[in-house]
Each structure stands twice: as C-alpha cells, then as structure tokens.
Amino acid sequence: MFVVPPGPHRLTGMDAIQVAAHGGPEVLYGYASGRPEPFDVSRLQTGGSLTLTRPTLGHFVASVEELRLRAGDVLRWVADGTLKVTVGGRYPLAEAARAHADLEARRTTGKLLLIP
C-alpha cells in the first residue's frame, strides 16, 4: 500500500497508479516528467481494476471545424469563469531560457507567459 503524506505532491507516471481510486483512470498526457518506464500491466488489476490511457489531441480534433468548435468552448469557459486559468509567471521573451529552466526545475505552477 502506498500512503501519501500531507502536503503538496507531484506523483507522475506509474507512481500515480498507487493512489488512484478503484476503477479509476491513469491518464498519461504528455511526458513533462519524461517517458514512463515499461511496467507490468497486471498492476492495473491489482491496483483496483484501473484503466490506462494515453490521449493524443489529433484523435479528438479531426478537422479545422472541430478545432474551432472546441477552441470556442474553451475560450467561452474562460470568459464566463467556468475554467480558471492560473498564470504562474511572466517572463520577457529575452528570458525564455530562464522560463524553461524554471519549468524544468519545477519552480513554477500554472501557465507561464513569454512577453514580447
């Protein structure tokens, strides 16, 4: 059994399976923490009939029309407050390398903006 101590945590990759609810999903979206290592798929069963998925944007947006529709939904949700966007930092474009370094070192949360 994996016990999560109190406080903020970053469980990534297959470590997150250890705290997923029975029947819950493990979703790998991007590889910000690096590519996950191969694992024994029986961990999904012993973890409580978990599911694992690796969605790719191209499979959910098949046409320009669908992209416009989905983008319109997201922008509407931001405008009406349904979707909250957290800006964790603003960097002058000349400091893009520092923004990337901060992101890679996990010194940031939320979105980072590069200001031209």
pTM for the full model?
A: 0.49
What the block records as the tokens of 88 is: 């964790």
The tokens 């319109």 sit on which residue?
A: 72
* Domain positions in the chain: 13-54, 58-115
Distance of alpha carbon 108 from alpha carbon 99, whole angstroms: 9
pLDDT in tens, the chain (116 residues): 334 444 444 555 566 677 777 787 877 777 766 777 777 888 778 778 888 888 888 888 889 999 999 999 999 999 999 999 999 999 999 999 999 999 888 899 889 999 99
* pLDDT value for 42: 82
